[in-house]
Each structure stands twice: as structure tokens, then as C-alpha cells.
Amino acid sequence: MPELPETETMARDLHREIAGRTIERVAVHRPDVLREVDAKELARRTRGVTILRAWRRAKLVVLDLSSADRIVVQPRFTGALLLDHGALAESERRFSTLEFALGDGLTLHYRDIRRLGTVTLMAPVRWADYESALGMEPLDPSFCDSYLPALLRGSSQAVKKFLMDQRRVAGIGNIYANEALWGARIDPSRTARTLQPDETRALHAALQNVLAEAVSARGTSFRDYRDPTGERGGFAAHLAVYGRGGESCSRCGARLVETHAIDGRSTVLCAWCQR
């Protein structure tokens, strides 16, 4: 967390509010979130620079700058990019790790309670190298139903672990891997290459459906995820399995099983529906 739907929500909101604005001042309160740049260099390379675009890649929020540098934010567990027009709650402000003053009283904070997320400033060559290691976007038109089977055929991983590998498919984490596999009626522990053509088609459709629905709901909030205005995402009410271990499957009524056998992460499934 946050995954594709949450970072997509962040990026869209930020683009509407900050694209075209100039960074007037930079204040770093917790430099341990910085990567590949220190506080002094971050300020030097971003002060007076215009933000051209905010967008998402995988689970990252990317700010394109007029200098050709990019600010790359990986929120991980408790990170959030919050817009502050002067009324940000003190409960949020005290976890601000850095802030960009953008004029007209608007400040962009990177808030991170556990400080496990990162903020990196990347030059074009560095970004190109970094981005090339990421897999295809599952909501991109080029992610057609013939693309996924080709990837799955070469993998001996559990299909759930495969889906969460950012080098294979970008942006999917534990929440949406659980949900998509339930939607496709596939056991998360199945070896990826054992999936049959009808199963890969079902998984492709389930992935795209659950991600699109979660984006429309502005993501999933359990504890810490907030959009840039500080609001919670609304998709938690629509989750079929994640966070529901021990409850009844909404499809068949069987008891949902929760296990940590796959890569140590919480996996929730219906042993009756998912094969």
C-alpha cells in the first residue's frame, strides 16, 4: 500500500492542482526519506523550477520538472502527498518529511508516518534506466489478453507472487492480487505456468476490472492511505476477500481462508471457488 489505484488517484489530483506551478521553496524535515540526493542538492535542483506534470508509473508518483529532472515518490506503507492551503491538520503536519512551497499559500507535503517510503530526484538518464526495469501497466491498452499468457508460461512462481513482481506487471500489490485471483477463481498458490488459456483470459479480465473499479472509488483505505486532499479511498467496502479472512465468501458462502504461506504476505481465498 498504496498500489496502482491509490497512486493513480494521487497523481491525477496532484496534476490538476500543481501542474504549471513553480517550486519557490523546499524544506526537508526528515532527510532519511531522500534517495540519491541530499537535502541541499534537492533544494538547489528544484527551487525555481516548474512542475510540468504529475503522473503515475507502477506504484510511483512522478513529478516531471521543467529542468528535465523528475521527483519520484514511492509511498510504500504510510506515505502520502498532501496539498496544504494553510489548513492542514497538525496530526498530518507533524509527520511531514518534506515540503514544497508552490506559491499562493499552497504547499505540497510528503507525509510518511513510518518513513518507509522514499523521495528520489532523478535526471533523465537515471529515470530511463530505472523505468526500464518495470513491467507493463495492466490498464494500458497494450496489455492485451495475449500478453499475460506469454509472461505466465515462463514462470515457476506462485501466480500471486508473479502478479506482485513489479518487473512483470507494474502496480499490483497484495490487495489487488488477492482480489483479482478471487475474481478469476484461481488459487493464489498455483504455479503461474500451469494456468490454462481460459484461466489466463479470466485473470486478465479480473485484473483490469478490479483495478478500474478501485481507481473509480479512489483507492482503498484501511489505516493510513489518504488522497492529496486528506480523504480516504472508498474501495474497502467492495473488497471480496482482502481483510475478510474467516468471513463467508460472497460468491458461494464458504468460509474464506487466510494464510501467510505465499511470500509471507496475507493471502485470503475461497478454497471452494478458487482452484
The residues with which 112 forms a beta bridge, in sequence order, are: 79
Q: Which of 59, 70, 160, 226 is catalytic?
A: 59
Which value, in Å, is the radius of gyration of the alpha carbons in the chain?
20
Whether 197 sits among the annotated catalytic residues: the reply is no
Q: Which of 2, 5, 75, 228 is catalytic?
A: 2
Alpha-carbon distance values, 55 to 14, 74, 141, 176, 265 (Å): 8, 12, 17, 20, 28
End-to-end Cα distance, the chain: 27
Whether 59 sits among the annotated catalytic residues: the reply is yes
Q: Which of 12, 190, 244, 265 is catalytic?
A: 265
> With contact defined as beta carbons under 8 Å apart, do 219 and 6 qualify?
yes
CA atoms within 13 A on the CB side of 169: 31
The rounded distance, in Å, linking the Cα atoms of 252 and 23 is: 54
The rounded distance, in Å, linking the Cα atoms of 233 and 104 is: 28
Whether 17 sits among the annotated catalytic residues: the reply is no
The rounded distance, in Å, linking the Cα atoms of 139 and 29 is: 36
Whether 2 sits among the annotated catalytic residues: the reply is yes
CA 185, chain centre distance (Å): 24
Neighbours of 133 (CB within 10 A): 10
Q: Which residues are catalytic?
A: 2-3, 59, 265
